Structure 1
Amino acid sequence: MDEAATPWARDLLRTSLRYAKSPPSPGDVVITDFTDDPDKVEYIRILIYHILHGRDIVACYNLVLAVVLAGFTVRHFVTKRRDQARWNGRAHAPSSSERADKLPSSSSGTTLQGTRSPRDSVKLDVDLERQPLLASTARPDHRSLSSAIQAWLMYQPRPVPFVNRTLPPNEMSLFVLAYIALNVFFQFFQSPLEPKYFFAFADRIGYVFIVNLPLLYLLAAKNQPLSFLTGYSYESLNIFHRRVGELMCFAAFAHTAAFVAWQVWCCPTWLLVGGLCDFLIEQRNLLGMGSLIAYELLYATSLASFRARCYELFLASHVILQVAALAFLYLHFFTSRPYVLVSLAIFLIDRLVWRLSLKSESFTADLEVLEDGQTLLLSANWSTLHQPDQPFYSWLRHSIRHGWKPMDHVFITIPSLGRTHSLQTHPFTIASAAPRRHDAHEAGTPPHAWLSLLIRARDGFTLDLLQYSRSHSSVPVRIDGPYGSPGALEMLRACDSTVLIAGGSGIAVVFPLAWALAQHRPSAVAQGRQDINLLWVVHSRSHLSWLPRERLDELAEAGIHVTIPGPTAEAGRPDIAGYLAELSARAQTRQQELGVVVSGPDNLNRAARNACALAVKEGAKIRLSVEKFGW
């Protein structure tokens, strides 16, 4: 073996990988100033071509993502325009001011007290999981292939046996599989699979990893354009963010394992320099291992089981580890640097510019421990600021002082709980009705905002806050937000009939929606132009204190059909499937489109989703939104 061949070959390989673009063919790879074995020269030439050609192919990945995003954007804005037209068409009824005496402003202040249903509670003593998806209900038969496909996409399978892992609906699973298939395509398309060129295959895995970096950080950002462009809420996009992160962690591991395999089994002996230990302790490879460890720890600390037990540690580690991972990755190899810089810019702008400056406001909030003893109410109020007319300016500068929309959430920080908590932000859905919008050109005093957050004590921050509230009636709080998407409200307004289903604290999502529907077009509800139904399932009677009785009474006066079954601790689980079957059958008979929003525990969400899926299969027109905060 010609020992002198090793240094030139490795140095040439490293230098060639800095080419700006790949050559048209292996023969166009120029190798000069060397007169060694022509077979070795030809091997290096072909290997360099495969590496650079593979990088050119993968560089098109984000262009494909842009095309996909454009498709979702067009669909969203077409649907948004159609929904707005339908809502405006339903507004030929008398204006809402004619019923102002019956329905107070959503900006009215409230104090949560014990409550009962505004009408008799309905006792449905059955187990959701043991009932058929739908009760037998006579309805027109309009089944078709498109209905069957739509129903299958809406259906959510049972949890995985033994591990009891909750699965997403088929639509989300199909989208995730398409995303994985796209990455597999870019990995294998025109990729050499011969062992002697395995270096190019391993290099491409790393390139597939880095081209996903901007997408990962964009999906994690709170102030991102994706929600505005697609209409999906932050919670829905965050589910996809986790799937992207999981694929990238697998790609990082596979990239490392592939290069180890190359060094041990596939690399020609004349190209080797030392053994495996020498390979691993090279500076570039040590930096790569640092990045790998950081991203794998990010994955481990992001698991649902870890988040539930150590949420504060999850928050801290997520920031520290991702900064460390980006630093290691930047130094690991020069090809990653543009993607690292873009990702770092997304992270810093989101965290420092928007969240800590433009979006952050400080208040003194009131604290009240509710009847069940494990839930507290954090509330604050203020006069809202004028909201700018420009939508993009509003998106950039809109803070909680301008108000919020139904289903929005905020992040709160309470330094009074200690040094550790002063650096933490915790998300909560706004449980109170959104204040009326007040434009800059509108005369008069801006409406008052009354913000309420329902906080159930579990462990860590929430438990410390509960203990604090037992001896303090108020606390300084920093509020970052609001964040959210108006898609569900726009969908409900466009539908002829609506169903809002809340399980437990899911009332924080559902109640502001019901209030918005009743307040903005109460005449349309009262005159039968829109049928609105609200079902709230609670575990115990003490949980009824989470929503004031007067708020429920006002919803009922506005024409909303409010149903509160007996607490599940006493009456068992209500028949959600039968409830939805009856309403969907009624809507189908009237040839109406039914809008459904569900927010609650996994079992309730799944039962409602699958009930809607079976109704769609039978020909019903249903649009569904399930607010599930993470899978």
Structure 2
Amino acid sequence: MTSLINCLDDYDLSQKAINKEVDTIVYNCNEYGSMNVTNEMVFEIYEDNKDNIITIEQFGTNLSIPLTEPISFPEYNLTMAKKSITMFYWQLATGENYGGIMLGYWCGVFLIATVINFIGKAAPSFLLKMNSPAVIKFRQMFVTPATFGFKHSIPIGCCKNIIAMATPTRAESIIIGGYLIMALILGMIKFEPFEPNIWFPNQHNQLIRYIADRCGITSLTQIPVLFLFGGRNNLLQYLTGFSFDTFNVFHRWIARVMILFAFLHSVAYTWLERKYLAEEFAETYWRWGVVATVTGCIMLGQSIFIFRSKIYEFFLAFHIGLAVFFVIGMWYHLIELGWMNWEYATIALWGFDRAARLGRLVWSGLGTSQTKLYPNDLFRMTIDYPKRWKAYPGSYVYVHILSPWGFWESHPFTVYQSALPEHEGKLMIGATVKKGMTKRMAKALTKAGGDKAIKVLIDGPYGTCHNIARYDTVICLCGGIGVTAAFSYLLDIIKNKYHDQHLIFIWVTRHQSSLDCFENELKFLNDSDKCDVEIYLTSPDANSSDDSCSDNEKKLSDTGSDNSDSRYSVIKGQRPDVATLLPTYISQSKGTTAVMVCGPPTLNDLARRTVTDNLGAGNGRVDYFEEAFSW
């Protein structure tokens, strides 16, 4: 103890600095040595023994003789020791600091996005006036298009899409690219190994240890935001206006960086301890560190596109189960090593998301859905719920069907308020039958004759609302069941009469049953006299012909005084030429134009490409909005 205090005194440290170091010595003695030491005792020991301090020369070179007196070291030894220890702890701190810089990058991105989103909400006219040739060119090059020009919703892949990915938009790719470049640079700089070093026999081992620590700690700092971006209840969605899909893209890329750093951390430590692996595996922190790394790698592997798109329900359940093991592994790995603050933050964020989901379920209450099955695997839900909140344009909910099997499953559905006065305040959902929950529900409806009341729980609402109500012309292009997203916006615009707008509704669907399913909404759009309705029926039923109309079409056509001037039309047996149709509407639009698209991947990507090429073709600013679920 006297030798330690003497070393501090030899460096001419202030009394405050010496007291701080003594605090550390006392803590270690009491915490790890099961002793009962005080600062006063340490200084008393020093005062009692400082006159007995000997030098290395006095001690001699016989290291077998026990050291019974305090000793002082030459300045060279102290300098080397200080440099070695300082560099080691500087490397530890640098891993955390560099991880903080990477988090700061995201803070900067979200701050800019929040400012833009706030301006768009508070002063939309300011952004709508930004339509100079330079702004248009910038948006065409860096904001609106897909990364490589066309495919965004359509996955890019090889080997029959076994290896595939949905490419981000170009703006998302620029953000992700900045993050990846930062991670690469910060993972490679400022290691600075040196010799002689009191803790490492050579620079090679020293460098590997620094890499191991840097990668491990940097990986750790990314885990809280990884869980935040993957959660439903992410407050940043509402601040930035970014969709859940955008945060999901960020979630996946942060996961790749985090797992890469964790893998390098594990490999480097395995190399350093290769001669002592049996002893290391006897340590709890080592075993659980292996569990966390292996679990993380499995999570990354099972998150490839083909698993997410083909067996999503299994992927999700397995993903959550692995995440639990990952968090447990990190807990037992860090509880002995430190840095538990990052673990606490991760658990807090994940716990908040789960608690918020439960709170939304309780707040939304138990609902009753009058559910009707239509031909061609369509169904419609009219949900009577406690009405503590109202659906808004762009909102969606996760619905739990209260059945003996599968009640724990929830599926996202776009919701909107009914167009009928008798259903005022009820939630409307239209969807197609897929696998899992919806398939089981369809079987139950078939047994009940196609119409049945079902008890449901609602987790929601979620989603951000695009501010398309501020545009002079609104073009909604929908494919299939994506029509529900358009209804949520158009019904709101017509009911609230924000200002004199030209509304254009284009719907591409296969079967007549789709028109029957959404008869009330289509009639509402047609009766409003504010919306041009253009429907492309690509696979008309065999019993219908081009010169005959369904009952639904007749009802809608009869609302106009002259069918030739009707704003409602159904084109059968063909698809729209989107590359020609959208530019025509954009060029003929009055004032600012919003193009909102929701449909299958091919339609979405074609519309995005077409609108990008025609951002400067309107009579005011043209903006593209997309409502889509990406795997």
* TM-score by shorter chain over 0.5: yes
Is 1:342 aligned with 2:321? no
Does the CA contact (< 8 Å) of 2:99 and 2:222 recur in 1?
no
What number of residue pairs does the alignment pair up? 502
- Equivalent runs, 1:42-121 vs 2, <5 Å: 43=84, 46-83=87-124
Counterpart AA for 2:179: Y
Aligned to 2:35: none
C-alpha displacement of 1:611 = 0.5
Report the CA distance shift for 1:239/1:60 in structure 2 as closer, same or farther (over 3 A). Answer: closer
1:467 Cα deviation after fit: 0.9
Residue 546 (structure 1) aligned with residue 587 (structure 2): no
Paired residues of 2:98 and 2:218 also in contact (CA < 8 A): no
Structure 1 residue 226: deviation in Å?
A: 0.5
Q: Paired residue for 1:602? A: 601
- Match in the other structure for 1:160: 156
Q: Rate the CA distance shift 1:493–1:169 in 2: closer, same or farther, 3 A.
A: same
CA shift in 2, pair 1:199/1:176, >3 Å: same
Q: 1:231 to 1:215 in 2, by over 3 A?
A: same
8 Å contact from structure 1 (residues 409, 483) kept in 2: yes
1:30-71 Cα offsets, whole Å, 9 max, x none, are xx9898995995656533432333333433443443343222
Distance 2:453 2:87 in 1: 71
Amino acid at match of 1:77: F
2:575 aligned with 1:573, yes or no?
yes
- Contact persistence 2:224–2:342 (CA under 8 A): yes
Instruction: Note the alpha carbon deviations across 1:566-591, whole angstroms, 9 max, x for none.
Output: 3168735321121111012123xx5x
Check conservation: 1:367, 1:376, Cα contact below 8 A. yes
* Offset at residue 184 of structure 1 (A): 2.6
In the other structure, the counterpart of 1:23 is: none
Say if 2:217 is the partner of 1:247.
no
Mean CA deviation greater in 248-257 or 569-578: 569-578
CA–CA distance in structure 2, aligned partners of residues 350 and 66 of structure 1: 20
What is the deviation of 1:600?
0.8
Report the alpha carbon displacement of residue 517 of structure 1 after superposing the two structures with TM: 1.0
Give the Å deviation of 1:262.
4.2
Q: The residue matched to 1:175 in structure 2 has which SS?
A: helix
Counterparts of 2:102 and 2:592, CA distance in 1 = 38
- What is the match of residue 407 of structure 2? 422
Moved more, 308-317 or 146-155: 308-317
Aligned partner of residue 422 in structure 1, secondary structure: coil
Aligned to 2:245: 235
Residue matched to 1:391: none
Is the 8 Å Cα contact of residues 510 and 599 (structure 1) preserved in structure 2? yes
Correspondence 1:531 to 2:502: yes
AA partner of residue 518 (structure 2): L
Deviation at 1:358, TM superposition (A): 4.6
C-alpha change, 1:435 and 1:279, in structure 2 (3 Å) is farther
Please tell me whether the aligned partners of residues 430 and 484 of structure 2 are also in contact (alpha carbons under 8 angstroms). yes
Q: C-alpha separation between the residues in 2 aligned to 1:605 and 1:434? A: 26
Aligned AA (2:166): T
Q: Corresponding residue for 2:399?
A: 412
More contact order relative to length (CA 8 Å, sep ≥ 6) = 1
C-alpha distance in structure 1 between counterparts of 2:510 and 2:269, whole Å: 54
Q: How far apart, in 2, do the equivalents of 1:176 and 1:292 lie?
A: 23
Q: After alignment, is 154-163 or 345-354 more displaced?
A: 154-163
User: CA offset at residue 313 of structure 1?
Assistant: 2.3
Deviation at 1:275, TM superposition (A): 3.8
User: Deviation at 1:617?
Assistant: 5.7
2:403 partner letter: S
How many Å separate the matches in 1 of 2:211 and 2:532?
61
Separation (CA, whole Å) in 1 of partners of 2:380 and 2:423: 22
Distance 1:483 1:414 in 2: 18
Shift, 1:556, TM fit: 2.2
Q: For the residues of structure 2 that align with 1:319 and 1:76, how far apart are their CA atoms?
A: 32
5 Å-filtered alignment, 1:184-583, equals 184-192=184-192, 195=204, 196-263=206-273, 274-279=275-280, 282-333=283-334, 334-356=337-359, 358-372=362-376, 374-382=377-385, 384=387, 401-418=388-405, 421-430=406-415, 432-433=417-418, 448-472=424-448, 473-486=452-465, 488=466, 490=467, 492-521=468-497, 524=499, 529-548=500-519, 550-558=520-528, 559-567=530-538, 571-583=573-585
Q: Distance in 2 between matches of 1:479 and 1:494?
A: 30
CA deviation map 1:271-312 (0-9, x unaligned)? xxx344544554322111111222233333433322333333
CA contact (8 A) 1:435 1:450 kept: no
For residue 347 of structure 1, report the CA deviation from its aligned partner.
1.5
Distance 1:355 1:48 in 2: 43
Residues 306, 314 of structure 1: 8 Å contact kept: yes
Counterpart AA for 2:443: Q
**Fraction of identical pairs, as percent:** 21
Query: What are the Cα deviations for residues 175-210 of structure 1, in whole angstroms up to 9, with x where unaligned?
Result: 211222233343234244874322112211122222
Pairwise CA distance, 1:336:
3.8
Change (3 A) 1:52 1:312: same
Say whether the 8 Å CA contact 2:365–2:386 is kept in structure 1: no
Structure 2 contact 397–458 (Cα < 8 Å) conserved:
yes
Q: Deviations over 1:321-349 (max 9, x none)?
A: 22221121122124442112112112222
Contact (CA 8 Å) 1:311, 1:460: kept in 2 or not? no
What is the one-letter code of the residue matched to 2:625? S
Indicate conservation of the 8 Å contact 2:366/2:386, yes or no. Answer: no
Q: Report deviation, 1:431.
A: 5.0
Residue 139 of structure 1 corresponds to: none
Letter of the aligned partner of 2:399 in structure 1? Answer: I
Residue 353 to residue 407, structure 1, CA distance change in 2 (3 Å): closer
In structure 2, the residue corresponding to 1:148 is in which secondary structure? helix
When residues 383 and 435 of structure 1 are mapped into structure 2, their CA distance, relative to the original with a 3 A threshold, is farther
Larger radius of gyration: 2
User: 8 Å contact 1:410–1:481 — kept in the other structure?
Assistant: yes
Structure 1 length-normalised TM: 0.72
Give the deviation of 1:73 after TM superposition. Answer: 1.5
Distance 1:607 1:568, change over 3 A: farther
Name the amino acid aligned to 2:117. Answer: H
| 1:3 counterpart residue number | none
Distance change (3 Å), C-alpha of 1:344 and 1:435:
farther
Match of 1:439 in 2: none
